[in-house]
Amino acid sequence: MAVQSITACKPEATIIPNMWYAVRESSEVKSGKPYAFKRLNEDLVFWRDRNSKIVVMRDMCPHRQAKLSPGKIVDGNIQCHFHGFQFDRKGACQLVPANGRNGPKPKIFQCMTYPAQEAHGFIWVWSGEPRSEYPPLPFFEGLEEHIYTSAQKQWNTSYTRAIQGMLDVSHLPFVHAKTIGRGNLTLVNGPYTTLADDKIHVWISNQPDVGLPAMKPTEVPSPDGPPQIRFHFPNIWQLWIGEKVSLVIAMTPIDDEHCVLYMRFYQRMLTQPLLGRLVAYVGNLYNQYVVGEDEQIVVSQHPKHASLEVGERFIPGDRPIALYLKRRRDLILAAQAPSLPPNHVHGEPSLYQ
């Protein structure tokens, strides 16, 4: 059973129901002990069963509501620290010590569990009710041969603000004037942006301001090359620098005012494992520095969550951000009323000033 509060959403809620969220690096949850982490606005406990398969549960014992995370892993179950009840990976009670080893284990002692899986080095949690079939994980293709290193940073703002920041092409010459935004490319043509299958693709075509008007998103000719910015709902982003180098960031909600950025540098310029990791490590140091430039300004945005209702005004260059907000709102509304048309953007969002 999934946690009700995730699905009982409002249009201004930030967690999108029925999606796979990247919530942690796999390496952060080792076998043999439970780990407490707040994610998706819920206190969760992460642990591994006998086969090292990941389990994600609400961090609350169904007996007398103590946290499960101070407990232990015993015989492939999680044991509550308070009265020693044990629960299996499905959340079913397997032992009530006070009732005796062969005593009753009533079904009412059922932990809330989340559908969860691991792939691409991430733990993914499904933000909705369990179902018999799930959509594929929204990870990026073409990174299978790359070597990557990972770093993380908590931001004191909503993950929705972080996502906006990563879709923002007009801030580059200001926030990143000395790093990736060098060259004073203040004029924003487009950007040409597509939204399909809950993936936003952005082609950056900024240039120096020589007095010409900026081309509107609808005036920019469709580009030949691949998009530089890719965002896959609900929370992962890629900066494609070339076939051999990419940055990937998972922007993971803790709650409405906090998130974690999992930053990865992928490369396959050097494939020898040790050297390859060293290059990825150094690349990721630079990546973290640049993302730190974003953090300073993004955490100053108020309110801390982004939505179409908070009063932001947009320019044509903000089209990727407007598409993100509109699609997120539509997905949340569609989860409430499944008859709404899914995955369509009808022309321009009509949000620009």
- Tell me: does residue 294 bind Fe ion (CB under 5 A): yes
Q: Considering only residues 30, 83, 131, 344, which one is a binding residue for ligand FES as defined by CB under 6 A?
A: 83
- Tell me: does residue 310 bind ligand FES (CB under 6 A): no
**Closest of 99, 125, 123 to residue 112, by C-alpha:** 125
Phi, psi of 114 (to 5 degrees): -110, 140
Q: Considering only residues 40, 45, 54, 61, which one is a binding residue for ligand FES as defined by CB under 6 A?
A: 61
C-beta of 37: minimal distance to ligand FES in Å? 19
* Contact range with ligand FES by CB under 6 A, out of 9-17, 77-85, 213-221, 222-230: 77-85
- Tell me: does residue 281 bind ligand FES (CB under 6 A): no
* Contact range with Fe ion by CB under 5 A, out of 131-139, 287-295, 297-305, 314-322: 287-295
**Closest of 163, 168, 225, 172 to residue 198, by C-alpha:** 163
What residues contact 59, with CB distance under 8 A and at least 6 apart? 36, 42, 43, 44, 45, 67, 68, 69
**What tokens does 226 get?**
């691949």
C-beta of 82: minimal distance to ligand FES in Å? 4
Could you tell which of Fe ion, ligand FES, none binds residue 294, using a CB distance below 5 to 8 A set by kind?
Fe ion
The residue type at 146:
H
The 8-class DSSP code of residue 92 comes to: B
Q: Which residues make beta-bridge pairs with 194?
A: 201
Please tell me the distance from the alpha carbon of residue 68 to that of residue 34, in angstroms, as a whole number. Answer: 8
- Tell me: does residue 80 bind ligand FES (CB under 6 A): yes
Q: Are 163 and 231 in contact (CB under 8 A)?
A: yes
- Tell me: does residue 58 bind ligand FES (CB under 6 A): no
Smaller CB separation from ligand FES, 97 or 221 = 97
C-beta of 208: minimal distance to Fe ion in Å? 19
* Contact range with ligand FES by CB under 6 A, out of 5-13, 59-67, 160-168, 227-235: 59-67
* Contact range with Fe ion by CB under 5 A, out of 66-74, 279-287, 292-300, 342-350: 292-300
What residues contact 65, with CB distance under 8 A and at least 6 apart? none
Residues in contact with ligand FES, counted by CB under 6 A, come to a total of 8
**Locate tokens 């490590």: which residue?**
281
Helix axes 319-336, 159-166, angle to 10 degrees: 140
Binding site for Fe ion (CB under 5 A): 294
Binding site for ligand FES (CB under 6 A): 61, 63-64, 66, 80, 82-83, 85
